[in-house]
Chains A and B, each alone.
Chain A
Amino acid sequence: MLINKDMKMADVIHLDHHLLHVINRFNIQLGFEDKTVETVCKEYQVNTDFFLEIVNTYHDPSYFPLKNLQRFKPTLLVDYLQKTHHYYLGIKIPEIEQFINQLLLNNKIEPVHSKLLADFFQSYKTELTTHITKEEQRVYPYVKRLEGYLTQSIDKELITKEIKDYSIQEYEQEHDDVEAKLYDLKNIIIKYLPSPTDSSLFNKILHDLFELERDLNNHGRFENLILVPIVEKMEKDLLQKIKKS
């Protein structure tokens, strides 16, 4: 069942509580009373259509309306993606880290094993952070600049050089590597780490990893299927604009 603008926001959460942190990314906070999605969005000055597309792709992985999504302004998308980055590095990763620290202190678990897991997680974190930093510092500003160029008078040489120097395609590959590490991390815990008599800590870590993975997959889809094509189109349009002028 897809979420629409006339549903009560409270019912949306009852329907799929995994959406809570997605909704928070729009700076929307709890305490909805009986307000509809549309009313809440207006209150928080959020683009309702964009909000709906985002929560629906998240709620139903088979729902991915390319055409609808590609008509939104790139900056809108970039702002949202940046918020998800903040969620990963500012909330989710520290949360998992806390559990892993508890694991290191737990004397029922072989220290060698918790250390292996902690080290592996650290290397995953480093990779994810590097990847995110690169996007924040290079990709997103680039997207925003391109959007700017389309509406203002332009410096031909500067833009041609910029587009040549940087092509959006190059970062698609990196997503795969970050994903593979997360996959391994899960399997190491599920299949290979000898489980302690009480596995509740492991369960918590796994829960978080699965949630993070789901979010990252959604995030990656947005980048590869929407952001990349939008940027490619902008690059093409700009180069054409230059040719004509």
Chain B
Amino acid sequence: MRRLTILMIEQSFIIREGIKTLLSQMNQPFTMEEIDWVVADLPKLLRKTKPNLVFINPVSVVPNALLSRTNDHKILFIGMIHGETELNIISKFDICLDVYSDKQTLSKQIEELIEKNIGSSKEKQNSNLSERETNILKLVALGLTNNDIGEKLFISSQTVMTHRKNITRKLGIKTVSGLTVYAILHKIIKAEEL
């Protein structure tokens, strides 16, 4: 699993620790920046900490701060709701967690959120393979020869070779079995497909 950078804006020590414990038990690696005061300038804080995930207790930020966050789509905002909260505040978040819900519900919600939003963008961020290269990598990992791949994609096997050289250079992996491991780790193929 990829290590997440998390910004935690929550005054309650107990709740901050609780979320940390939950993430650790989910085997989710992370580094966390903890803020235990009321935040006035959220954008500045975001620029400084560059998080993937932000946990926010709505009462820990000044109300306008939440409005000005919308332009950054890469960051996920999780509201931690204590009791009744106005709908227009809830709507500012990608998801809201009720801090009183049980452990299972909470970990399931967080897991789904991470998988759906950060899991899918993983390939794009981790490897700088082009879409074509990713396709070719997939076919290589499935055991196709350069000729097979060329026929399938309507390109010459020489072109396939060039792509493969680039893939090897970018990833630092030279052998077919090494590329296969990479492809499985990055969910480009499933182990069962082999």
Contact = CB atoms under 8 A, between A and B. Distances in A.
Interface of A: 108, 110, 112-113, 116-117, 120, 123, 177, 180-181, 183-185, 187-188, 191-195, 197
Given A181-B178, A188-B181, A195 B172 contact: no
Given A108-B27, A112-B191, A192 B175 contact: no
Nearest to B184: A116
B188 to A, nearest CB: 12
B174 interface: yes
Nearest to A107: B27
Nearest to B1: A194
B167 to A, nearest CB: 12
Of residues B2, B29, B175, which shows the largest number of chain A Cβ atoms within 10 Å of its Cβ? B175
A188 B182 contact: yes
Given A116-B184, A116-B185, A194-B2, A185 B178 contact: yes
B185 A113 contact: yes
Contacts, number: 53
A185 B178 CA distance: 7
A180 B178 CA distance: 9
Interface in B151-189: 171-175, 177-178, 181-182, 184-186
Given A113-B185, A193-B185, A180 B27 contact: no
Contacts of A120: 177-178, 181
Contacts of A181: 175, 177-178
Interface size for chain B: under 10, 10 to 19, 20 to 34, or 35 or more residues? Answer: 10 to 19
A120 B178 CA distance: 8
Nearest to A185: B178
Query: When A and B form their complex, which 3 residue pairs have the shortest distance between CB atoms, in order from nearest?
Result: A184-B178, A180-B174, A187-B172
A183 B171 CA distance: 12
B184 A180 contact: no
A123 B194 CA distance: 15
Contacts of B175: 177, 180-181, 184
A110 B27 contact: yes
Contacts of A123: 177
Given A180-B178, A185-B178, 10 more contacts: A116-B184, A177-B175, A184-B177, A187-B171, A188-B173, A188-B178, A191-B172, A193-B185, A194-B1, A197-B24
Of residues A108, A110, A192, A194, which shows the largest number of chain B Cβ atoms within 10 Å of its Cβ? A192
Nearest to A109: B27
Contacts of A110: 1, 27
A199 to B, nearest CB: 11
A184 B174 contact: yes
A116 B181 contact: yes
A187 B185 contact: no
A175 to B, nearest CB: 14
Contacts of B27: 108, 110
B114 to A, nearest CB: 13
Contacts of A187: 171-173, 178
